[in-house]
Structure 1
Amino acid sequence: MNPLLIFVLIVWAISGIGLIVFVLLHSGKGTGVSDMIASSLYSTQTGTNIIEKNLDRITIIFAIVFIISLLVLMIIYPQGSIAGA
Protein backbone atom coordinates (compact mmCIF):
# COMPACT_ATOMS: atom_id res chain seq x y z
CA MET A 1 0.00 0.00 0.00
CA ASN A 2 1.22 3.44 -0.81
CA PRO A 3 1.48 6.18 1.84
CA LEU A 4 -1.36 8.23 0.33
CA LEU A 5 -3.78 5.33 0.71
CA ILE A 6 -2.70 4.71 4.30
CA PHE A 7 -3.06 8.41 5.17
CA VAL A 8 -6.52 8.74 3.58
CA LEU A 9 -7.72 5.52 5.23
CA ILE A 10 -6.54 6.74 8.65
CA VAL A 11 -8.23 10.13 8.17
CA TRP A 12 -11.40 8.37 6.98
CA ALA A 13 -11.49 5.99 9.95
CA ILE A 14 -10.79 8.69 12.55
CA SER A 15 -13.38 11.02 11.06
CA GLY A 16 -15.95 8.21 10.94
CA ILE A 17 -15.40 7.29 14.58
CA GLY A 18 -15.40 10.96 15.58
CA LEU A 19 -18.61 11.55 13.66
CA ILE A 20 -20.32 8.67 15.45
CA VAL A 21 -19.15 9.92 18.85
CA PHE A 22 -20.23 13.51 18.29
CA VAL A 23 -23.61 12.55 16.84
CA LEU A 24 -24.23 10.44 19.93
CA LEU A 25 -23.27 13.39 22.14
CA HIS A 26 -26.11 15.48 20.70
CA SER A 27 -29.09 15.81 22.95
CA GLY A 28 -32.49 14.53 22.06
CA LYS A 29 -35.06 16.55 24.03
CA GLY A 30 -32.86 16.95 27.07
CA THR A 31 -31.82 13.34 27.61
CA GLY A 32 -28.49 13.21 25.78
CA VAL A 33 -25.02 12.78 27.15
CA SER A 34 -24.25 16.41 26.29
CA ASP A 35 -27.09 17.57 28.54
CA MET A 36 -25.76 15.52 31.43
CA ILE A 37 -22.31 17.02 30.95
CA ALA A 38 -23.63 20.52 30.42
CA SER A 39 -25.93 20.39 33.43
CA SER A 40 -23.07 19.33 35.66
CA LEU A 41 -20.71 21.98 34.31
CA TYR A 42 -23.04 24.91 33.73
CA SER A 43 -26.30 25.70 35.41
CA THR A 44 -27.25 28.55 33.06
CA GLN A 45 -29.02 28.19 29.76
CA THR A 46 -26.42 30.29 27.91
CA GLY A 47 -23.69 27.80 28.79
CA THR A 48 -25.74 24.99 27.31
CA ASN A 49 -26.35 26.96 24.14
CA ILE A 50 -22.64 27.60 23.70
CA ILE A 51 -21.84 23.92 24.23
CA GLU A 52 -24.51 22.86 21.73
CA LYS A 53 -23.25 25.34 19.11
CA ASN A 54 -19.69 24.09 19.51
CA LEU A 55 -20.90 20.50 19.37
CA ASP A 56 -22.75 21.29 16.14
CA ARG A 57 -19.64 22.87 14.63
CA ILE A 58 -17.41 19.94 15.56
CA THR A 59 -19.94 17.46 14.16
CA ILE A 60 -20.16 19.36 10.88
CA ILE A 61 -16.36 19.48 10.60
CA PHE A 62 -16.11 15.71 11.16
CA ALA A 63 -18.86 15.12 8.58
CA ILE A 64 -17.11 17.27 5.97
CA VAL A 65 -13.75 15.56 6.57
CA PHE A 66 -15.45 12.15 6.36
CA ILE A 67 -17.16 12.98 3.06
CA ILE A 68 -14.04 14.51 1.52
CA SER A 69 -11.87 11.55 2.51
CA LEU A 70 -14.49 9.16 1.15
CA LEU A 71 -14.57 11.05 -2.15
CA VAL A 72 -10.76 10.99 -2.35
CA LEU A 73 -10.83 7.23 -1.79
CA MET A 74 -13.43 6.87 -4.54
CA ILE A 75 -11.32 8.90 -6.97
CA ILE A 76 -8.01 7.19 -6.16
CA TYR A 77 -9.38 3.64 -6.12
CA PRO A 78 -12.53 3.35 -8.26
CA GLN A 79 -14.63 0.18 -8.36
CA GLY A 80 -12.91 -1.61 -5.50
CA SER A 81 -9.46 -1.77 -7.05
CA ILE A 82 -7.93 -1.63 -3.56
CA ALA A 83 -8.26 -5.41 -3.26
CA GLY A 84 -5.96 -5.93 -6.22
CA ALA A 85 -3.25 -3.67 -4.86
Structure 2
Amino acid sequence: MILTLQILLVITSLLMGLSILLHKGKGGGLSSLFGGGMQSSLSGSTVVEKNLDRLTIITAVLWLAAIIGLNLVLNYDL
Protein backbone atom coordinates (compact mmCIF):
# COMPACT_ATOMS: atom_id res chain seq x y z
CA MET A 1 0.00 0.00 0.00
CA ILE A 2 2.80 2.39 0.89
CA LEU A 3 4.69 1.61 -2.32
CA THR A 4 1.56 2.19 -4.39
CA LEU A 5 0.94 5.58 -2.80
CA GLN A 6 4.59 6.56 -3.23
CA ILE A 7 4.51 5.64 -6.92
CA LEU A 8 1.24 7.57 -7.35
CA LEU A 9 2.81 10.57 -5.62
CA VAL A 10 5.84 10.57 -7.92
CA ILE A 11 3.77 10.13 -11.08
CA THR A 12 1.30 12.88 -10.14
CA SER A 13 4.14 15.20 -9.14
CA LEU A 14 5.76 14.81 -12.56
CA LEU A 15 2.44 15.19 -14.39
CA MET A 16 1.51 18.28 -12.40
CA GLY A 17 4.87 19.92 -13.06
CA LEU A 18 4.60 19.15 -16.76
CA SER A 19 1.02 20.38 -17.05
CA ILE A 20 1.87 23.63 -15.24
CA LEU A 21 4.81 24.24 -17.54
CA LEU A 22 2.60 23.68 -20.60
CA HIS A 23 0.26 26.54 -19.67
CA LYS A 24 0.42 29.68 -21.75
CA GLY A 25 1.93 32.69 -20.02
CA LYS A 26 -0.62 35.36 -19.12
CA GLY A 27 1.66 38.25 -18.24
CA GLY A 28 5.02 39.80 -18.88
CA GLY A 29 6.82 37.84 -16.20
CA LEU A 30 9.26 34.98 -16.57
CA SER A 31 7.26 33.40 -19.39
CA SER A 32 8.05 36.32 -21.68
CA LEU A 33 11.74 35.97 -20.85
CA PHE A 34 11.78 32.51 -22.41
CA GLY A 35 9.65 33.41 -25.41
CA GLY A 36 6.23 32.89 -23.85
CA GLY A 37 5.21 36.46 -24.55
CA MET A 38 5.49 36.07 -28.31
CA GLN A 39 2.28 35.50 -30.23
CA SER A 40 2.36 32.57 -32.61
CA SER A 41 -0.04 30.39 -34.51
CA LEU A 42 1.02 27.39 -32.42
CA SER A 43 -0.21 28.88 -29.16
CA GLY A 44 -3.34 26.72 -29.13
CA SER A 45 -7.02 27.35 -28.73
CA THR A 46 -9.18 27.97 -25.73
CA VAL A 47 -10.40 24.34 -25.80
CA VAL A 48 -6.85 23.13 -25.33
CA GLU A 49 -6.33 25.54 -22.42
CA LYS A 50 -9.56 24.41 -20.76
CA ASN A 51 -8.58 20.76 -21.11
CA LEU A 52 -5.12 21.52 -19.75
CA ASP A 53 -6.73 23.32 -16.80
CA ARG A 54 -8.89 20.27 -16.12
CA LEU A 55 -5.90 17.94 -16.33
CA THR A 56 -3.96 20.15 -13.92
CA ILE A 57 -6.81 20.26 -11.41
CA ILE A 58 -7.41 16.50 -11.56
CA THR A 59 -3.70 15.84 -11.15
CA ALA A 60 -3.51 18.24 -8.19
CA VAL A 61 -6.45 16.52 -6.48
CA LEU A 62 -4.85 13.09 -6.99
CA TRP A 63 -1.53 14.46 -5.73
CA LEU A 64 -3.19 15.83 -2.59
CA ALA A 65 -5.07 12.55 -2.01
CA ALA A 66 -1.81 10.60 -2.35
CA ILE A 67 -0.12 12.84 0.22
CA ILE A 68 -3.00 12.54 2.69
CA GLY A 69 -3.30 8.79 2.15
CA LEU A 70 0.44 8.25 2.59
CA ASN A 71 0.41 10.33 5.76
CA LEU A 72 -2.51 8.34 7.18
CA VAL A 73 -0.91 5.00 6.34
CA LEU A 74 2.44 5.97 7.83
CA ASN A 75 0.98 7.49 11.00
CA TYR A 76 -1.68 4.92 11.79
CA ASP A 77 -0.05 1.84 10.18
CA LEU A 78 -3.28 0.64 8.56
Q: Fold conserved (TM > 0.5)?
A: yes
Amino acid at match of 1:12: L
Structure 2 Cα separation of the partners of residues 72 and 7 of structure 1:
10
- 1:22-68 CA-partner distances (Å, limit 9, x unpaired): 00111113827xx86xx3386xxxxx100000000000010000000
How many residues align? The count is: 67
The structure in which a higher percent of residues are helix is 1
Q: Identify which of structures 1 and 2 has the higher relative contact order when contacts are C-alpha pairs closer than 8 Å and 6+ apart.
A: 2
Q: 1:20 aligns with which of 17, 32, 35?
A: 17
Partner of 1:6: 3
Task: Say which of 43, 67, 72 aligns to 2:69.
Answer: 72
List gaps (5 residues or longer) in structure 1: 43-47
2:42 to 32, 40, 43: 40
Q: Which residue does the alignment assign to 2:32?
A: none
| Aligned-partner SS, 1:40 | coil
Q: Is the 8 A contact 2:8 2:66 kept in 1?
A: yes
Structure 2 unaligned runs (5+)?
Answer: 28-35
Equivalent of residue 62 in structure 1, options 52, 59, 62 = 59
Which residue among 40, 49, 53 is the counterpart of 1:52? 49
1:63 corresponds to which letter in structure 2? A
Residue 25 of structure 2 aligns to a residue whose secondary structure is coil
Which structure has the larger Rg over C-alpha atoms? 1
